[in-house]
Structure 1
Amino acid sequence: MSPHTKLISTFSLLIGTTITISSNHWMMAWTGLEINTLAIIPLISKSHHPRAIEAAIKYFLVQATASAMILFSSTINAWHVGQWDITQLTNPTSSILLTTAIAMKLGLVPFHFWFPEVLQGSPMTTALLLSTMMKFPPITIMFLTSHSLNPNLLALMAISSAALGGWMGLNQTQVRKILAFSSISHLGWMTMIILYNPKLTLLTFYLYSLMTAAVFLTLNTTKTLKLSTMMTSWAKTPSLNAALMLTLLSLAGLPPLTGFLPKWLIIQELTKQEMTPAATIIALLSLLGLFFYLRLAYHSTITLPPNPTNHMKQWHMNKTTNPTIATLISLSVLLLPLSPMILTSI
């Protein structure tokens, strides 16, 4: 891929995301989503491998269908209400159509099948964009329309996503697929709380993006794609692998790491809303995710292959760790212990 194409695609991603998150008009939000879809496709298929081309086509078909549903939903709502304001979503049919479309764009259950396959066919940096930045515009639309969405449908999709995201990640050996199911599971937590405390959904998304970026960039540095290759990376970058273990445990939501904060606050908010059964179910379902995070952490630090390297000091020859990765890992692990006052401002 030429540098100019990459620059144009990246710039278009920034423009599309900015247009969607800053607009109140349905047509402008839809335009931003379309720019995003068209901009990410060259980044998915840049290796020209058949799997990458297949991933790009799958992504395009799903996103085009979801965008058409958003346009259809907003048109029906404008027909009944008489305006195109995103916050004025009052028609029940439009609400259900929009919920379905956003679920398709995010990869919520039962529209999740495309997401692991697309991530598996994408390069590591593009997979990071798909898991974080590309989810921000749909979550923003869901945030703006949260007061009009169907609570039963959202709760069903949230619990199903938390369950299937954990369950289907158990038997995976490809790291990108494991992180895809991790993303689906986290989206379940965000969807569960959006009706009761939308700001908490955004906080969860920001912290999830922070931790996921740290994991993806670390794996990209160590060139890790499978669990078997993860075992060999300890001899090359032991300190980075130790930090990766802590980041994975933070992503699992273990105290006192950063990832514990959103889960703690979501369970607390659900309990306040007298939804103790839902809080109990979603907390128990997070144990499924904990298993494969522990599996990743175990492979990255504790397990060593019989002959790890031909050269005992091979890791000395590697380039130094990017400061961005060091900053992201520090925030992913130490944000909650270093700033307990964040709890009083939510």
Structure 2
Amino acid sequence: MLFFPMLMISLMMILISNSWFSMWMIMEINLLSFIMLLIFDKNLNNDLLMNYFLIQSFNSYLFLMSSFMLNYFNNMIMFFFILNFSLLTKMGMPPFYYWYLKMMKNLNWYNLIYMSTFQKIIPLYTFLMLMNFNLIEVMLLNFMILMFYSIFLSLIGLNQMNLKLLMSYSSIIQMSWIIIIMYMNEYYSMMYYLIYLLISLNMMLMFNMMNLNNLNDLMYMKMKNNLMYLYYMFMMFSLSGIPPMFGFLMKWLSLQLMTNFLNFYLLMMLLLSSLVSMFFYMRMMFNNFLNYNFSMKINLKFINYFEINFNFFLLNWIMLIMLLFYEII
């Protein structure tokens, strides 16, 4: 665990970086620290670890090379495209995401949590710096790729049973929304990321605690702890964007923001991707709804309310206060 503080420090250092080279250095520190953590993962074989290192190193090289070229050729749009795709690949985002799925499937839950959430912070911040150049061509290309793959991956996820793969697809879909929103308002994207971080963190920690790896294993969680299963359903409703959960509130505010920036057709594509992803999340509860046993319903008369886990409800109130704060601003 010696390298975990270095990971946290690298996440804070990126906030004070002011050049492409310093960002590259922080990326490399973060990469080496995370690889040292992965070495202790018993589920991960050496081939996958080497693949991860090579992919990240190659894209770091592309990032460094293209950033140097931009100092000499400011009008070369090609180097902006290279910089853009190197960041997308490092995050495991479309169109180069196959290595990400293969990697996530073989991680333990703790490393999967870190890779699907915290490891996105440095590339996202670098993306924010890239957006300051106001490149319309890069922005439109990202919009089309991310919206198309959000729909495509939601459809593919309908056939998956592995919970780690399902959470990986969820990570890609939610990060696509965050990047699109980032082009319009960085505060909304920050709030969206924070909501996704806290919900997915709670959900994956719960999967790890219950030792769940397959979609059918959720029935075991329902049989063992009804309240935890109810807690899981609230998180799924929030991720899928169903009212009155705060996942819906964040998507509603984001779509309201997008009406001022996007044309009708792009907005319809985003709504379609949101609708398909909602079915993707609902499927994670669909089998359990069909197999519902009325004898296992929660008897509200015998619940000791002081023993209920109120973390998610408290989280919703915190998110509401923060969202209202940003609305006032």
TM-score range, shorter chain: 0.7 to 0.9
Report what 1:207 is aligned to. 195
Tell me, yes or no, if structure 1 residue 234 matches structure 2 residue 227: no
Which string of whole-angstrom CA distances, capped at 9 and with x for unpartnered residues, describes residues 219-241 of structure 1?
A: 11111111122211222222111
Tell me, yes or no, if structure 1 residue 22 matches structure 2 residue 16: yes
Which string of whole-angstrom CA distances, capped at 9 and with x for unpartnered residues, describes residues 44-87 of structure 1?
A: 342334x5434322322221121111101111112346xxxxxx
Structure 1 residue corresponding to 2:96, chosen from 101, 111, 123: 111
Matches of residues 255-270 of structure 1 in structure 2 within 5 Å?
A: 255-270=243-258
CA contact (8 A) 1:232 1:304 kept: no
Which string of whole-angstrom CA distances, capped at 9 and with x for unpartnered residues, describes residues 190-235 of structure 1?
A: 2222222233222221211111111111111111111122211222
Give the secondary structure class of the aligned counterpart of 2:95.
Answer: coil
Report what 1:163 is aligned to. 151
Structure 1 residue corresponding to 2:168, chosen from 180, 186, 201: 180
Structure 1 residue corresponding to 2:84, chosen from 76, 90, 99: 99
CA distance in 2, matches of 1:92, 1:207: 34
Structure 2 residue corresponding to 1:39, chosen from 25, 33, 42: 33
Question: Displacement of 1:303 after TM fit?
Answer: 3.6
What are the ranges of 5 or more consecutive residues in structure 1 without an aligned counterpart?
1-6, 82-89, 309-319
Query: What is the RMSD computed on CA atoms of the aligned residues?
Result: 2.5
CA distance in 2, matches of 1:185, 1:236: 31
CA distance in 2, matches of 1:217, 1:342: 29
Normalising by structure 2, report the TM-score: 0.87
Residues 117 and 274 (structure 1), Cα distance of their counterparts in 2 relative to 1, 3 Å cut: closer
Letter in 2 for 1:137: I
CA distance in 2, matches of 1:269, 1:236: 43
CA contact (8 A) 1:108 1:157 kept: no
Question: Displacement of 1:250 after TM fit?
Answer: 0.4
CA distance in 2, matches of 1:137, 1:98: 14
- Greater CA drift, 268-277 or 135-144: 268-277
Report what 1:292 is aligned to. 280
Normalising by structure 1, report the TM-score: 0.83
- Greater CA drift, 171-180 or 329-338: 329-338
Give the secondary structure class of the aligned counterpart of 2:259.
Answer: helix
CA distance in 1, matches of 2:201, 2:149: 21
CA distance in 2, matches of 1:235, 1:176: 21
What are the ranges of 5 or more consecutive residues in structure 2 without an aligned counterpart?
297-306
Matches of residues 56-67 of structure 1 in structure 2 within 5 Å?
A: 56-67=49-60
Which string of whole-angstrom CA distances, capped at 9 and with x for unpartnered residues, describes residues 147-198 of structure 1?
A: 3242221212221231223122111100010011111111221222222223
Question: Displacement of 1:270 after TM fit?
Answer: 1.5
